[in-house]
Amino acid sequence: MKVLITGAAGFIGAETSRRLLARGDQVIGIDDLNEYYDVSLKEARLATVKDHENFKFVRGDIADRSLMETLFAEERPQRVVNLAAQAGVRYSIENPRSYVDSNVVGFLNVLEGCRYNNVEHLVFASSSSVYGANTQMPFSVHQNVDHPLSIYAATKKSNELMAHTYAHLYGTPVTGLRFFTVYGPWGRPDMSLFLFTKKILEGDPIDVFNNGNHSRDFTYIDDIAEGVVRSIDKLPEPNPGWSSDNPDPASSNAPYRIYNIGNNQPVKLMDFIASIEKAIGKEAKKNFLPLQPGDVPATYANIDALIEDVGFKPETPIDEGIKRFVSWYREFYKV
């Protein structure tokens, strides 16, 4: 297949590209290589795929309407994976407009491209952040998610709503994937594993928010990418049992599905830190701080729908995933 991947230089985008190329698909990747974090890391990810004969890279912003219209018209992808987004809960407190530009305007351009070019399936990244103020654990795709706690989460919820509208109006098959705290080699420098590893190795104290009382459903990058690829192949169909009297948020009478992709095993933050200390062989200096605005104290994914429909369950143990990350970090940064 010919697959368009937005955010192809990103953490998940690059690994998904590698997997699709390895199985013989053609990949068109687009990324604006913005400076939200180290551009050289994004370029290094791209370097792992850019010379592949079935990979083509386009540098550009998905919020650029003209560019996206031209890209879709010229490339005519069969399937699209939208992974481009302004990420990060805390940064969305400081710079909300960048989230609307990328996550709302950009996503609309992707939807329009799919609509007018007969794309067979759009898979898009949502986030566990959409669960917001929900406290019933584990988080289920059948719960309503109407109380986001950050503008980032609100834009991801808007993506799900916009996607459903296109599935309903135009019959565009769409699948949304709510990712739960993705980690692993080539990860984002603003994520806790990257920050903690860097500071522990340099002997600096780490900031432990919510006084260490967080728990997260950490999900290894290989599991996330495998879930994305399998979802690309699983075209959503209207749910024959869907009822407007008791509407299921995860499905529809249109070709629309929402899935959680999480490890289904939440890890306490202090246990997470202990695992990093073990992998590095050095104890962290800890600076305990209160809960940050916009943060969710805990995440825990119910993945029953993913297992039943897509036939996949993430299974990488946290100790193994962290060990692989620390090994990659030391090799990549020569420390």
Q: Active-site positions?
A: 152
Q: Which two tokens stand for residue 4?
A: 């368009």
**SS3 (DSSP) at 17:** helix
Residues 288/245, Cβ–Cβ less than 8 Å:
no
Q: How far is CA 226 from the centre of its chain?
A: 12
Which residues have a Cβ under 8 Å from the Cβ of 331 and sit 6 or more positions away? none
Residues in the chain: 335
**DSSP state letters, 182-226:** EESTT--TTSHHHHHHHHHHHTPPEEEGGGG--EE--EEHHHHHH
Which residues have a Cβ under 8 Å from the Cβ of 265 and sit 6 or more positions away? 217, 318
Residues 257/123, Cβ–Cβ less than 8 Å:
no
Question: What is the arrangement of strands in the sheet containing 256-261, beginning at the earlier edge strand?
Answer: 55-59, 26-31, 2-6, 79-82, 121-127, 174-179, 256-261
Residues 321/240, Cβ–Cβ less than 8 Å:
no
Q: Work out the number of other CB atoms within 10 angstroms of the CB of residue 226.
A: 20
DSSP assigned state of 52: S
